[in-house]
Amino acid sequence: MKDCEVATLKFDNEQLDQLHTASLDLARHGGPQAPGAALKARLWARLLEARLDPVQQATVNLFADGRLAALLFARLRAPKDDPLPEQLPELCVLEKDLTCLYLGARNQVLLELVRYRAFAFDIDNDGKHLRLVGNFKGGGRQPRPGETRQTQIELSSHAGLRLGPHTEAPYHCSVLARDGHSPAPSALVLSARWNPANQPTRIVPLRAVIEGLGSLDVLALSSRSFDFTRSECFVDGRGAGGSATSIIDFDAQGGFSVRYNAYRFSLNEQASDAAARAFDAFQARLAQTPSVDFVLQPDSVLLVNNTRALHGRERLDDNRRLLVRLFGYSRFARPLILKEDPLLVRG
């Protein structure tokens, strides 16, 4: 791929065998949500890491150090005997399905390979690590059974609506906990169980966007001049919007982190004219920046750095599309931990 912020890694046959064995072992153990799964995934990842060649290891290190926007693991082994269904099964059925657990476990091992740890927020997805991304609530190009024009559609990954470029919530902080809120995810990891219409996941690496802004604009975007609204997927009565937050932060490692959502961010009423101009300039550059598109299938896994890349998708063409997703924290993140195993943090 041409974008220097995006890399691809391919395994040899012995590495693929080990990844398959690890994923099946973890799936039979109960998947990422099961107690002890994190330690098992970590041990399997270290065994896999010992088989990497120097070029593969260098690629892994780039993501581990936060210097890539996205890393694609390509030409993996897809689960066998998994035909496309006539319609998407119910969420409660899929969450217990061995193939979904296998894909989630594979995601967890690959997170651990880049030294990230899987976690869940207490206010999102019922505190579960494994999130199945599909049209369970309506909004795709074809209506779901029982869906009408009066159906209220949630703007989240559990619906079929278009999702514009965004980083994952919450948006209070990116690396260190602040004011009782854990940081946003450092990364998300995605694979597809089914993607019959070959619809892409769209990634916008942000380094070039930021470097193309003037220094005063970047400085203004790092001021607490922006507000955001509550995510609709948060548990009712929990989680909230926020005010006076920044879009860009700079960290102790010499890098940057971005928090942004095309739907949810706005200018604070107390913001300066400089912040308003910077916000306009940032949005204009985003509109002009082409995305890097990934058509995910069961033989690929995409790691997205949630601090230096936006992601999104178009409205779903085929309601059977199903992605399997986990959140991960880098070794630099400092969340507010509620439970260690499986890792649950305050949102």
For residue 100, the model assigns a pLDDT of 98
Tens digits of per-residue pLDDT, 135-169?
999 999 999 988 888 788 888 889 999 999 999 99
Mean pLDDT in residue range 217-230? 94
**Who contacts 290 (Cβ-Cβ below 8 Å, separation ≥6)?**
none
Give the pLDDT band (50/70/90) at residue 3: low
Mean pLDDT in residue range 19-39? 98
Which pTM does this prediction carry? 0.95
DSSP state letter for 126: G
Integer angstrom CA distances of residue 49 from 37, 55, 298? 18, 12, 22
For residue 234, the model assigns a pLDDT of 60
The answer on pLDDT for 196 being more than 70 is yes
Q: Residue 288 CB: number of other CB atoms within 10 A?
A: 9
17 close to 83: Cβ distance less than 8 angstroms: no
Return d(Cα 144, Cα 91) in angstroms, integer: 14
CATH class, 6-169+186-206+293-345 region: alpha beta
List the one residue out of 79, 75, 99 whose CA is nearest residue 89.
99
300 close to 11: Cβ distance less than 8 angstroms: no
Give the pLDDT band (50/70/90) at residue 232: low
Residue 158: beta bridge partners?
none
Residue 303: beta bridge partners?
71, 189
Mean pLDDT in residue range 89-95? 96
- Which of 135-144, 206-215, 233-242, 290-299 comes out lowest in average pLDDT? 233-242
For residue 156, the model assigns a pLDDT of 86
Return d(Cα 144, Cα 156) in angstroms, integer: 16
Give the pLDDT band (50/70/90) at residue 1: very low
Beta strands in 157-270 (DSSP E): 163-166, 187-194, 201-205, 226-228, 242-245, 248-250, 256-258, 265-267
Integer angstrom CA distances of residue 32 from 58, 59, 108? 27, 25, 7
Mean pLDDT in residue range 108-125? 96
DSSP state letter for 218: H
Q: What residue ranges do the domains of the chain occupy?
A: 6-169+186-206+293-345
Return d(Cα 130, Cα 215) in angstroms, integer: 40
The answer on pLDDT for 233 being more than 70 is no
* Torsion sign, CA atoms 314, 319, 320, 325: positive
The answer on pLDDT for 2 being more than 50 is no
Higher pLDDT, 229 or 278: 278
296: left (phi over 0), alpha (psi -120 to 50) or beta: beta
For residue 231, the model assigns a pLDDT of 74
In the chain, % of residues over pLDDT 90 = 86
327 close to 108: Cβ distance less than 8 angstroms: no
Higher pLDDT, 153 or 300: 300
